[in-house]
Amino acid sequence: MPGRPPYVPPPRASGPRRRLAGVTPARRLHVVSGKGGTGKTTVAAALALALADEGRRTLLVEVEGRQGIAQVFETEALPYEERRIAIGPGGGEVFALAIDAERALLDYLSMFYKLGGAGRALRRIGAIDFATTIAPGLRDVLLTGKACEASRRRGQDGRYVYDAVVMDAPPTGRITRFLGVHHEVAGLARVGPVHHQAQAVMRVLTSPETAVHLVTLLEEMPVQETVDGIAELRAAGLPTGTVVVNMVRPPLLARPPAPDAEPAALAAALARAGLPEAERIAGPLLAEGHAYAARLALEAEGRAALTGPGLPVRDLPLLGDGVDIAGLYRLARLLRDHEW
């Protein structure tokens, strides 16, 4: 697919400029996870846009190799380089990076062991691919380490290069192990650059600079996985942020039918309203109403379970036409006023 220039949203109405209420210096690395199918990549992209307020720069990183970010922004596959991909609704810039474990390892070898060309030679003979394949933990270390480095990087003027980094992370079921692998590496490598790097990354991941946000739907399995994920993250000492309930459907009825509602009573009401064939359609309509009431009850139970851990909960609506670029910016605008 040919690349597109960064999407520029319509001009904002004139008036006083404001800053994003939810961006604080303490939250610089936002890790977005969620069960498959909950739309975590879309939420991560919308959050990166939302954090790109006036004059701010955010970096959206992908670690799973799916090129999901490129699909969301309808652009060509992302290379292993930080590339501007969009303009935020507040006028800031959004950059994107697809982190490649092999390239990240080459960066690591060059930075800490000064291998340079020797590292590239190792790649040509397949040693880099061999190392990241036989040691899955090493791959996770490289991916998270690159994102943490970007969140701490400073320019020549001493200021942070990015005001915030948003990571489209692995699913909730393995997010705790993905982020906590540095503990294991630091324990295996007692001294040297590997040990110090692992410790440095864990300091970032467990600090107030980081927040792990979980995306879910108001359905039984995603809700349970989210609640379990929160407990696992807390047990591992990893900071939790916001629960994003995605694809929330608008209410269809002001009041669902009572459980004891009778088809005959509904048919009479429909007939008084002038609806033809009221008796024939009353039964199916009432059955649909009862099914809708049951779904609302299950969603209420799910929401109660999500609020139980005490984290803030933010809703995002279901977009009837799907998530295109305009829809992504709509979600970003809805996220701008939240305390991230």
pLDDT for residue 124: 52
Could you tell me if residue 157 is inside a domain? yes
Are 147 and 61 in contact by the 8 Å Cβ rule? The answer is: yes
pLDDT for residue 239: 96
Q: What's the total number of domains in the chain?
A: 1
Could you tell me if residue 247 is inside a domain? yes
Residue 208 identity: P
Which residue bears the tokens 């980081």?
210
pLDDT for residue 257: 83
Identify the CATH number of the domain in which residue 186 sits. 3.40.50.300
DSSP strands (E only) in the chain: 29-34, 57-62, 83-87, 93-98, 164-168, 210-216, 240-248, 313-317
Could you tell me if residue 78 is inside a domain? yes
pLDDT for residue 21: 40
Q: Range of 171's domain?
A: 29-251+310-335
Report yes or no on whether pTM surpasses 0.85. no
pLDDT tens digits for range 87-134: 998 889 999 999 887 777 777 666 554 545 544 544 554 544 544 454
What count of Cα atoms within 13 Å lies in the side-chain half-sphere of residue 78?
28
Could you tell me if residue 123 is inside a domain? yes
pLDDT for residue 284: 92
pLDDT for residue 152: 92
- Taking the CB of residue 217, how many other CB atoms lie within 10 A of it? 21
User: What are the DSSP calls for 136-154, one per residue?
Assistant: HHHHHHHHHHHHHHHHH-B
Could you tell me if residue 23 is inside a domain? no
Phi, psi (deg, nearest 5) at residue 95: -105, 155
Could you tell me if residue 302 is inside a domain? no
What percent of the chain has pLDDT above 70?
78
- Give the angle 196-201-206 at the CA atoms, nearest 5°: 125
pLDDT tens digits for range 186-208: 555 555 566 677 778 888 999 99
Could you tell me if residue 215 is inside a domain? yes
Could you tell me if residue 148 is inside a domain? yes
Low-confidence spans in the chain with pLDDT less than 70: 1-26, 108-137, 182-195
Tell how strand 93-98 and strand 164-168 pair up. Answer: unpaired
Q: What is the CA radius of gyration of the chain?
A: 24
Report the distance separating Cα 334 and Cα 149, nearest Å.
29
